[in-house]
Amino acid sequence: MNTDSNNRVALVTGGSGGIGRAVAERLAADGQSVAVHYAGNKVRADETVAAITDAGGRAIAVTGDIADEADMTALFDQVEREFGGIDVVVNTAGIMLLSPLESLDLDDLDRMHRTNIRGTFVVSQQAVRRLRAGGAIVNFSTSVAKLQFPSYSAYAASKGAVNAMTLVLARELRGRDITVNAVAPGPTATDLFLDGKDEATIDNLAKMPPLERLGRPEDIAEVVSFLAGPARWVNGQIIYTNGGII
C-alpha cells in the first residue's frame, strides 16, 4: 500500500488553471509527483509544471479529451511510464454554461453532459483499473446543487450525476483500499468565476458565507490535499467546501 506522500503519484485533470492549478501545486508541495492534464491550453499547463519544478517538485504536462476512452487510456499509460504508477486521480476538469432552463440551448446541455459526466466517468474508469492500493479518487461537484441558484439547473444536474457516481463507486471498490469522494466548492475567486460579474454581484456572493469572503483556489486545494493523502477513513462523501453557506 502506497500512502507515503513522497512516493505518491497524482493525475489532476483540468490542472492548468484556476482550482486545478492550485490543486496540482498543493499536491506537489505535499510531495506527490503530479501529471498536469490540459485540454487546449498547453502554455498554461507548462507554466503550472514550471511552477512546480521550480519549487522542487516533480511534474509533467499531459493532454487529451477526458471524454474519449482512447485518449485517456494513452494518457494513463504515459503517466505510468513516467512515474511508475498512479495513486491519486483528481477530476477538476469541467465546464459551466448557464441559462434558465426554459431558454437553455440543448447543445450546451450536451456539452456539459459530455465533459462533466462522461469525462468524469471515463477518467474514473481508468482510475479504477489502475490505482494502487491506498489510492484516492477525488471528483468535483458543486455547492450549487444545494444552493439552487437560478440559471444553474443544467450545470447542477451534471454535478448531481457526479455525486451519484461518487457514492456508488466508493461502494463498488469494497476491499480495494481506494477511497472515492467529491469536493463541492461554493463561489470561488477564479478568473472564470469572476469574469462577467459586476462588483455588486461579487460583493453579494462574498457576504453569503459566515466568513464573509469568496473562497480561494487554495481553500479548495487544501481539502483535496486531505482527501488525496491522510484521509484514509473518509470515503463515499460529498464535502461541501464553501465557508459555511450551507
Highest mean pLDDT pick, 3-7, 188-192, 240-244: 240-244
Residues 6+ apart with CB under 8 A from 145: 156, 159, 160, 163, 184
Residue 4 pLDDT grade (very low, low, confident, very high; cuts 50, 70, 90): low
Residue 1 pLDDT grade (very low, low, confident, very high; cuts 50, 70, 90): low
| φ and ψ of 134, to 5 deg | 90, 5
Percentage of the chain beyond pLDDT 70 is: 98
How does pLDDT run across 81-98, given as a tens digit for each residue? 999 999 999 999 999 999
Distances (CA, A) of 101 to 26, 31, 58, 82, 163: 37, 44, 44, 44, 21
Whether the pLDDT of residue 169 is over 90: the answer is yes
Answer for the pair 181, 227: CB distance below 8 angstroms, yes or no: yes
pLDDT at 151: 94
Q: Is 199 exposed, middle or buried (0-12, 13-18, 19+ CB in 10 A)?
A: exposed
| pTM for the structure as a whole | 0.96
Residue predicted with more confidence, 28 or 148: 28
pLDDT at 193: 81
How does pLDDT run across 23-77, given as a tens digit for each residue? 999 999 999 999 999 998 999 999 999 999 999 999 999 999 999 999 999 999 9
Kindly list the catalytic residues. Answer: 155
Nearest CA to 116 out of 136, 148, 135, 144 is that of: 144
Residue 19 burial (CB count, 10 A): 28
The whole-number average pLDDT for the span 169-190 is 97
Query: For residues 21-44, b (16+ Cβ closer than 10 Å) or e, as one string?
Result: bbbbbbbbbbebbbbbbbbeeeeb
Largest Cα–Cα distance in the chain? 51
* Domains along the sequence of the chain with CATH: 5-241 (3.40.50.720)
The whole-number average pLDDT for the span 221-241 is 98
The whole-number average pLDDT for the span 198-208 is 93
pLDDT at 142: 96
pLDDT at 164: 98
Residue 164, all three cell numbers: 451519484
155-158 long-range contacts (CB < 8 A, ≥24 apart) are 155/96, 155/97, 155/98, 155/112, 155/116, 158/94, 158/112, 158/113, 158/116, 158/117
Residue 2 pLDDT grade (very low, low, confident, very high; cuts 50, 70, 90): low
Nearest CA to 44 out of 190, 218, 203, 200 is that of: 190
| φ and ψ of 175, to 5 deg | 85, -5
| Mean pLDDT of all residues belonging to the chain | 96
Q: What does the alpha-carbon distance between residue 160 and residue 125 come to, in Å, rounded to a whole number?
A: 18
pLDDT at 5: 66
